[in-house]
Structure 1
């Protein structure tokens, strides 16, 4: 059984859960998420799949 999980949706899920648990972290989580997605896009590694 193969399980394909994209990195961006996984990060979005983790960020969403953290925002629900600790709303004060929203600014930091959004900033870190945007930086990570931007760096991944620039380096062309946006399509990494975990198996």
Structure 2
């Protein structure tokens, strides 16, 4: 399976959802990290690192 940039937001969202279910107090941190990741993906910053 090849992970493309279209799959990354879905994977990040899945991980964030699981973390929030397991540890609800992490909600602020998980949401902040999720938003930062989506912003970096949207700007294409991850392509600079060849990810």
Q: TM-score, normalised by structure 1?
A: 0.72
Query: What is the correspondence of 1:1-51 to structure 2 with a 5 Å cutoff?
Result: 3=1, 6-43=7-44
Identify unmatched segments of 5+ residues in structure 2: 47-51
Q: Secondary structure at the match of 2:20?
A: helix
Could you say which structure has the greater relative contact order, defined with CA pairs below 8 angstroms and 6 or more residues apart? 1
- Which portions of structure 1, spanning 4 or more consecutive aligned residues, are displaced by more than 4 angstroms? none
Partners of 1:38 and 1:26 in 2: CA distance: 18
Which structure has greater helix proportion? Answer: 2
Answer 1 or 2: which has greater strand percent. 1
Look at both structures and tell me which one has the larger radius of gyration over its CA atoms: 1
Q: CA deviation at 1:44?
A: 6.7
Q: What is the root-mean-square deviation of aligned Cα atoms in Å? A: 1.6
- Secondary structure at the aligned position of 1:26 is classed as helix
